[in-house]
Amino acid sequence: MIVVDTNIIAYLHIAGESTPLALQVLEKDSHWVAPPLWQSEYRNVLTSYIKHKVIDLEEAIRLLENGLNTMQNRELAPTNALVLTLASQSASSSYDCEFVALAREIGCKLVTADKQIVRNFPDTAILLEEFIK
């Protein structure tokens, strides 16, 4: 089991140069979990793509449904106190700390593409390129 952040979920569903890496993460460990926050972040990514005319609304809805299907029954909420503790003791946002807190609480790695999260929490977070080695 691994915690994945929103970027990994987006890479899996939105075709791009990082999609093969996300597929390799899925192949190595298909038991993904994430805090419910991932949905809002993913919708924000899709909205940005719509506004920059990368995709249209219909495609965004399809990509959202694909992401929701992938993560169905794979959402776990971290403890609020741990999220706040981690955020107050680091340079990371409370949003990022939700993923870190969840990984710590369930005793697994957070797979991410965010180098700052890995720098701030090297005991918990690992870059997707390192995870698939």
H-run or E-run covering 126: strand 125-127
Instruction: Judge if pTM exceeds 0.75.
Output: yes
How much is the average pLDDT of 29-45? 98
| pLDDT classification of 15: cutoffs 50, 70, 90 | very high
What pLDDT does residue 110 have? 98
H-run or E-run covering 33: strand 32-33
Alpha carbons within 13 A on the beta-carbon side of 9: 35
The answer to whether the CB of 126 falls within 8 A of the CB of 118 is: yes
Which contacts qualify for 77-82: CB closer than 8 Å, 24 or more apart? 77/35, 77/36, 77/102, 78/35, 78/102, 78/105, 79/105
